[in-house]
A and B are shown apart, each in its own frame.
Chain A
Amino acid sequence: MTSATAVLPPAAARRGERGSRFLRLFLPLGLYLVFTVVPFYWMLLFALRPAGSASLLPWPLTLEHFGTVWNDMGFRVYFQNSVWIALLTLLFVTFFALMGGYALARFEFRGRRLFMLALLCTQFVPGAMMLIPLFNIFQTLDLIDSRWSLIIAESTFQLPLAMILMSGFVRNVPVELEESAMVDGCGRIRAFLAVVLPLLRPGIVAVGSFAFIGSWNNFLFALMFLNDPELQTVPVGLQTTIGENTVDFGALAAGGVVAAVPVVLVFAVVQKYLVQGMSAGAVKG
Chain B
Amino acid sequence: MRERIDCDVAIVGGGIVGGSAALFLRQAGLSVTLLERDWCGAKASGVNFGGVRRQGRPLEQLPLSQRAHAIWGRLPELLGTDVEYIRSGHLKLARSDADLDSLVAYRERTGGFGLGLEIIAGEEFRQRWPALGDRAVGGSLCPEDGHANPRLVSPAFARAAAALGADVREQTPVDRVEKDGDRFVLLAGDALEVRARFLLNTAGAWSLRVAEAFGETVPLESLHPNMAVTEPLPRFLDVNIGVEGGGVYGRQVPRGNMVVGGGRGFALDADRARPQRHAVMTLMQDAAELFPQLRHAHVIRCWTGVEGYTPDRNPVIGPSRTTPGLFHAFGFSGAGFQIGPGVGQTLAELVTTGTTAMPLEPFRIDRFPPIA
Q: A and B: real partners?
A: no
Q: Give B residues with C-beta under 8 Å from A.
A: none
